[in-house]
Amino acid sequence: MVFARKVWHVLVAVKDGLALLFLLLFFLALFAALSSRPSPGAVREGALLLKLDGAVVEEPKLIDPISRLMARQAPTGEYRARDIVTALRAAARDDRIKAVVLDLARFTGGGQVHMQEIGQALDVVRAANKPVLTFATLYADDALLLAAHASEVWVDPMGGAFITGPGGKHLFYGRLLERLKVDAHVFRVGTYKSAVEPYLRNDMSSASRDAGGALYGALWDVWKADVSKARPKANIALATTDPAAWLNASGGDAPQAALTAGLVDRIGDEVSFGSRVAELVGADRRNKLPGAFAHTGLKTWLAANPAKQPGKPIGVITIAGEIVDGDAGPGIAGGERIAKLLDEAQEKGLAALVVRVDSPGGSVYASEQIRAAINRYKAKSIPIVVSMANMAASGGYWVSTPASRIFAEPATITGSIGVFAVVPSFERALGEWGVTTDGVKTTPLSGQPDVVGGLSPTIEAMLQGNVEHSYAKFLSLVGESRGKSPAEVDAMAQGRVWDGGTARQKGLADQFGGLDEALADAARSAGLKAGEWHPLYLGANVDPYASLLARLMGDDDSASANLVRDIAGLVAAQQNDVIAQALAGAERLVGRQGAQAYCLECPAAPMPARAAADSLGLLARIENLIARF
């Protein structure tokens, strides 16, 4: 028995030793993966391949390791717009790059301003006498805006190209809330603050309809002008005036209809497209599969072209996504996180600060946190310039008010200067089930706001007064920033949204231009010449664990089952977006905390997971929503 015990102890020791060895090897492999970076030496002569399997955004979200590991399929990507622009400009100058290829087969969209910025960079490539080729199964508005700047546009024989134009319908819950006997107590200031209308009405008010019509009409005109200039042969009217007749004229053959309208140049599958690219840049000698061509990917190309950092730093703080309380982000503008980034950067000796905004707004409190942090730079006489991307509305405009100069684009959505709060109560619904409330109060505010028994007139008056105070502060901030009286600001505020062109006319923006123009203006204000400064993007460091997970879960085509590939898929995707909109609207009703400065007309951010929605996630959201009720 003694011998047997000794043998057993030895076996256990060996087992424990092997377990420790495997753990050590695992963590060594993990460290190696985290430390690895795309090799600049991997650049190959051929094409720059931009395979946009996901959405183009201002600021990508970090991958949550736990949720991604539990997901049924690989995450769809998010690509920073300025990274793509940087890559294209470098490709135009480098003799190793013979052509640029945009693979849009799994592209899920991007903001109109971002598409225009990338389109301008594609023009730089073509001006260097380098062809630009695009391929997609289905081209929608976003992809078409990019493809218009290409020299060859290919579409799959089973796909097509369709123009829907901006705008669409919002969901209204007035009748539903009445049937459920739920009272939505709305406190707002602003004739056009339409973000609350879904809880009060069954349709749009005439004021909101007029404002929305003007906004979307302007965005549509900008889109058509951009496409027509880049691709004069595109017959937009043919594809949009009577789309059904246009498609039927080609016997229902969507690719042929797109070819007839000049939206695409050639019809062919991925292999045919790849063979065409190989004719221009050479075949891929390491990959013998049909349609393979010599190329360098986006990450490798960016690694081979690091940004130069001469002179003094000009800080760039990004405010992207909904503005929320707390430290959320990147990809969501957590007020505490952004304020902390700004305060920490004061030690970096910034010569100037550029605030890059791509947000529909959100929490008034978080917006004020960010504005106050920016204002601390202004108090030190550091030049502050704002660059508006796709959206800088409501809270997005609130955080812009410290700037001495505001740059916007014609397709920027801004304004929406208004404040609201929504508090639901359920006294009528619970009363149907025999549930009532009673108790003892020591002051008029005891137990208020009471979402079960109903809001008292006292708390309602106080909530409305608080919203009006926030609105007055908003007017004051805008007036001080724009050199206008509160009355002048109020006349163009009232919650109304404006396109960038109208905003410029009304003095809400100073001039057209993107981030480059804003940086150059900030440098001039700081007394710096070209070559004496460089941009420093605050908080731009990527979490290595997130990048590891992205590589491990990498190019998994399992997500392709839900991709939008034809007109039927486009309709289905829009239906999914409606469901998501309904959930978001309901969550906004029961989940808001505090006053809000939010823009309903601003389009939803491009969904990187539109093609990869998880039904379990949808059910979880519904379950969580019911729990809140």
pTM for the predicted model, two decimal places: 0.82
With cut-offs at 50, 70 and 90, classify the pLDDT of residue 68: low
Backbone dihedral angles phi then psi of residue 265, each to the nearest 5 degrees = -105, -35
At residue 188, the 3 state secondary structure works out as strand
> Could you say which of 61, 98, 130, 193 is catalytic?
193
Least confident of 184-188, 457-461, 470-474, 556-560: 556-560
- Predicted local confidence at residue 9, as pLDDT: 64
Measure the CA–CA gap between 237 and 414, rounded to whole angstroms: 28
Instruction: List the one residue out of 35, 101, 43, 559 whose CA is nearest residue 299.
Output: 43
User: Going by CATH, does the domain composed of 312-437+444-537 fall within 3.40.50.300?
Assistant: no
Separation CA 106–CA 564 (nearest Å): 8
Cα 109 from Cα 580, distance rounded (Å): 17
| For the chain, percent of residues with pLDDT exceeding 70 | 77
* Nearest-angstrom CA–CA distance, 138 and 154: 10
Tell me the residue length of the chain.
629
CB 455 within 8 A of CB 185: yes
Measuring CA to CA, which residue among 619, 211, 221, 260 is closest to residue 418?
A: 211
How far is Cα 46 from Cα 106, in angstroms, rounded to an integer? 22
CATH 3.90.226.10 domain residues, the chain? 42-163+231-304, 312-437+444-537
Question: What is the pLDDT of the chain when averaged over all its residues?
Answer: 84
Sequential DSSP letters for 39-69: -GGG--SEEEEEE--EEEESSPPPP-HHHHH
pLDDT at 434: 85
User: Helix, strand or coil for residue 360?
Assistant: coil
pLDDT over 50 (residue 609): no
What pLDDT digit, counting tens, does each position of 115-168 carry? 999 999 999 999 999 999 999 999 999 999 999 999 999 999 999 999 999 988
**Residue 575, pLDDT above cutoff 60:** no
The SS3 assignment for 106 reads coil
Residue 611 has pLDDT above 50, yes or no: no
Q: Over the Cα atoms of the chain, what is R_g?
A: 27
pLDDT for 601 equals: 61
| Band of pLDDT at residue 462, cut at 50, 70 and 90 | confident
604: confidence class by pLDDT, cuts 50, 70, 90:
low
pLDDT digits (tens, 9 = 90+) for 372-397: 999 999 999 999 999 999 999 999 99
In the structure encoding, which two tokens stand for residue 226, read together? 């951009």
For the stretch 259-309, pLDDT in tens is 999 999 999 999 999 999 999 999 998 888 999 999 999 999 999 999 888
Span 58-72, average pLDDT: 69
Catalytic member of 208, 363, 367, 394: 394
The model's confidence at residue 429, banded by pLDDT at 50, 70 and 90, is confident
* pLDDT the model gives residue 34: 44
Fold of 42-163+231-304: 2-enoyl-CoA Hydratase; Chain A, domain 1 (3.90.226)
In this predicted structure, what is the pLDDT of residue 459? 83
- Report yes or no: 149 and 131 within 8 Å, Cβ to Cβ: no
Residues 6+ apart with CB under 8 A from 411: 112, 113, 116, 219, 222, 223, 390, 499, 500
pLDDT of 435: 79
Both structure tokens of 214: 């003007």
Q: Which residue has the tokens 């708390």?
A: 459
Residue 302 in tokens: 């960016």
pLDDT of amino acid 424: 83
In contact, 534 and 313? CB cutoff 8 Å? yes
Of 252-261, 506-515, 553-562, the one with minimum mean pLDDT is 553-562
The answer to whether the CB of 602 falls within 8 A of the CB of 393 is yes
In this prediction, residue 71 carries a pLDDT of 57
Output the pLDDT for position 385. Answer: 98
Which residue, chain included where needed, has tokens 């004739």?
191
Structure confidence at residue 613 (pLDDT):
40
Rounded mean pLDDT, 243-251: 95
Cα–Cα distance list, 244 to 143, 251, 565 (Å): 21, 11, 18
Dihedral (CA of 462, 464, 468, 474) sign = positive
pLDDT reading at 542 higher than 80: no
Comparison of pLDDT for 421 and 204, the residue scoring more = 204
The residue behind tokens 């959100």 is 362
Residue 419: is its pLDDT beyond 80? yes
Q: Which of 372, 410, 367, 375 has the alpha carbon at shortest distance from 389?
A: 410
β-strands 109-110, 152-161 pairing? unpaired
pLDDT value at residue 619: 47
Query: How far, in Å, CA of 120 to CA of 112, rounded?
Result: 12
483-530 residue pLDDT tens: 999 889 998 998 889 999 999 999 999 999 999 999 999 999 999 998
Assign 409 to helix, strand or coil: coil
**Among 38-47, 184-193, 414-423, 553-562, the least confident range:** 553-562
Instruction: Determine the Cα–Cα distance for residues 106 and 455; give it in Å rounded to an integer.
Output: 49
* Per-residue pLDDT, 207: 85
Flag whether pLDDT at 567 surpasses 50.
no
The answer to whether 394 is a known catalytic residue is yes
Nearest-angstrom CA–CA distance, 562 and 569:
8
Nearest to 496 by CA among 112, 195, 111: 195
In this prediction, residues 218-246 reach a mean pLDDT of: 96
pLDDT digits (tens, 9 = 90+) for 3-50: 566 656 666 666 666 676 666 666 555 544 444 455 555 889 999 999
Greatest mean pLDDT among 135-149, 318-332, 532-546, 565-579 lies in 135-149
